[in-house]
Structure 1
């Protein structure tokens, strides 16, 4: 847990979600601090508009709820693509004695507020996600809307500023402070009226040159919402995994853990239409992508569930026969294996005796060591200079 000092001398206690005593990463950074200090110094009016319309203050991309918790007295709306960010916000509100309904939590797939008077943007890693969200919010923005973005210097690029200018209006940046920078955008009626159409979600045909389970997907349409990993083409790790994917049996319960656009689970469903599939991801956009990809290609009789959650923690113990997993190794800009390790432990808990976890990962990450520690066994199925496919069995 971290103590976050606020302008004026007060402070709040913050933690990421789920709380891990070994995790030394903070739930806020200098860009959050810079933005809050600017709001205080500039005396930006954060309360509801004079006519009382809801959604006056919108916080976009708040990573662990630092901004929403700090500004909870102003009834903000938080919009995020991350289920973990929502849970972190709820936990941080409770941790600091703030009412649970002090912040309205919306996902990236929810309908945005009808009016935005103050828009605070924590610049995301994905420019595509920022594009999608700004275009979705643009109809609610008006010439009087105060728009301030924030991010670390390494996260704000010329393309970031050009995107604000193309969707909302003239944009400039602040001087850097503690390696953080602010973005100031002035909404322009002409720019708002002429904004481009939202290109998301996007689709691509699955390539026809992927052997193994990939052959079942050849030519099929894959749907990708903004912000998911490798949204414009099949990534090489998933390609390698599909070449060596196990074939489930009809009646088996298969989980695509960290599903992204769901091509692993779809391949399993096409190989065994009588199997039951569960697609899990902490990204709202990823689960929406997986569901659209599945519905467009799978046998309608195949049973499937689509759940936004933290890994497989919500699955009943002993209810799963096979887990397919291509785990992430970044949490925003920080490289970390904490998410993968949590996925492995959750998978073991959800698997029946004899059930299997199959993982693809970069060779240098050393997932085999953790899998052997969690399961008591781990076998390398296949490898190449960059990736390995690993198999662990619950015994």
Structure 2
């Protein structure tokens, strides 16, 4: 759904990516508009190096494109949304520099705009990575809805960059106003990410093995309970084949497949650059002699995979898009899996019982089998029948 955001210097047609007429969620919110108004009303000079961090669907980057900003994002979908929104508004693509959270940030930042992410760890990591480029004259403005900004959020800005305060709320949105100083720069310490821990003893073949998590990956400091349940109920005796860990996160599921079956061709896919970096590090830590035997892809699910090119898809789908609860991502993952699977190929899914994924699977595959369940989670299997 395309919608229009009004900024002090223009109006912009914006949409999420991929655009879906059934999706009623907007590509911007009051916090984006509040920040843009603040930049104008405060007289913030925008003729230096402008960096936009965490722009969810490209609203801020598109509105600031006249100032040739650098966007830094962890999301492939956000990056593609930015490209599409620039084109939608007649903005030349080369007006904006697009970087990921894994790229080297600019060496100088004069205006730093931060859309507060859901993950406090990702915010911490990105502020640490940008801090050397920030100087005492840098204008630092964060933005988010009131429910997204906590005392811990403000403490991060204050500990890593400098004295921090918040604005009054407008339309349930708030700004974070930070003034970098040299004393904070000298005392901020080192970036604690990535984080490494060993898996618990009740997860089968990977018991006691290392996991590497870059900041922003779901449950970065421990194994989440859904994945723990999934690891106990993965398919066995599949034989060599092409296996996709779809929405791979830190890669423990795909790594478990590779440890169990060295002949399997495992592909790790996620739309998060931090997640794919984590998966590659986890795989390397557990299979140091298997370099080159797995693929690590940042992308939009199984887009780009050929029809009938995969034997097995393993999936723990997210049911949030930033702060919004939605099953749109799961639906697209399931439909993509059906298209990519060979006849007889299987999709295995873990999810909370209440999400009712069996209904979606029956609609898309025509079948769904309960493999395992407990009080909170289910593991489901759907088989791609002959076309």
Residues of 1 paired with 2:324 and 2:189: CA distance? 32
The aligned residue for residue 53 of structure 1 is: none
Could you tell me whether the CA contact under 8 Å between 2:351 and 2:357 is conserved in 1? yes
| SS of structure 1 residue aligned to 2:314 | strand
Q: What's the offset of the Cα at 1:301? A: 3.7
Superposed structure 1 runs of 4+ greater than 3 Å apart:
none
Residues of 1 paired with 2:251 and 2:229: CA distance? 15
| SS of structure 2 residue aligned to 1:260 | coil
The aligned residue for residue 353 of structure 1 is: 343
The aligned residue for residue 205 of structure 1 is: 198
The answer for unaligned runs of 5 or more in structure 1 is 49-55
Residues of 2 paired with 1:148 and 1:108: CA distance? 19
Q: What's the offset of the Cα at 1:19? A: 0.2
Q: What's the offset of the Cα at 1:239? A: 0.7
Q: Report the TM-score when normalising by structure 2.
A: 0.98
Counterparts of residues 32-43 of structure 1 (less than 5 Å): 32-43=32-43
The aligned residue for residue 377 of structure 1 is: 367
Give the alignment's Cα RMSD to 1 decimal: 0.9
Q: How many residues align?
A: 383
Q: What's the offset of the Cα at 1:101? A: 1.1
Residues of 1 paired with 2:47 and 2:334: CA distance? 44
Q: What's the offset of the Cα at 1:249? A: 3.5
| SS of structure 1 residue aligned to 2:367 | coil
The aligned residue for residue 366 of structure 1 is: 356
| SS of structure 1 residue aligned to 2:79 | helix
Matched, 1:163 2:156: yes
Matched, 1:241 2:230: yes
The aligned residue for residue 269 of structure 1 is: 258
Q: Which of residues 133, 142, 162 is equivalent to 2:126?
A: 133
| SS of structure 2 residue aligned to 1:342 | helix
The aligned residue for residue 6 of structure 2 is: 5
Q: What's the offset of the Cα at 1:247? A: 2.3
The aligned residue for residue 257 of structure 1 is: 246
Residues of 2 paired with 1:240 and 1:27: CA distance? 34
The aligned residue for residue 16 of structure 2 is: 16
Residues of 1 paired with 2:288 and 2:197: CA distance? 20
Residues of 2 paired with 1:202 and 1:254: CA distance? 26
1:160-192 deviations in Å (ceiling 9; x for gaps): 111100000000000000000001000011101
Matched, 1:153 2:142: no
Residues of 1 paired with 2:129 and 2:4: CA distance? 34
The aligned residue for residue 31 of structure 2 is: 31
Residues of 1 paired with 2:335 and 2:85: CA distance? 25
1:231-272 deviations in Å (ceiling 9; x for gaps): 111111011111111025443000000000000000011110
1:88-137 deviations in Å (ceiling 9; x for gaps): 00000000100011111110110000000000000001100000000000
Q: What's the offset of the Cα at 1:6? A: 1.4
Q: Which of residues 72, 91, 101 is equivalent to 1:108?
A: 101
| SS of structure 2 residue aligned to 1:4 | strand
Q: What's the offset of the Cα at 1:314? A: 1.5
Could you tell me whether the CA contact under 8 Å between 1:201 and 1:223 is conserved in 2? yes
Deviates most, 187-196 or 30-39: 187-196
| SS of structure 1 residue aligned to 2:226 | helix
Residues of 1 paired with 2:129 and 2:327: CA distance? 33
The aligned residue for residue 143 of structure 1 is: 136
Residues of 1 paired with 2:238 and 2:373: CA distance? 25
The aligned residue for residue 390 of structure 1 is: 380
Matched, 1:343 2:328: no
The aligned residue for residue 84 of structure 2 is: 91
Q: Which of residues 289, 295, 304 is equivalent to 1:305?
A: 295
Q: What's the offset of the Cα at 1:317? A: 1.0
Could you tell me whether the CA contact under 8 Å between 2:284 and 2:290 is conserved in 1? no
| SS of structure 1 residue aligned to 2:193 | coil
Q: What's the offset of the Cα at 1:195? A: 1.1
The aligned residue for residue 52 of structure 1 is: none
| SS of structure 1 residue aligned to 2:159 | helix
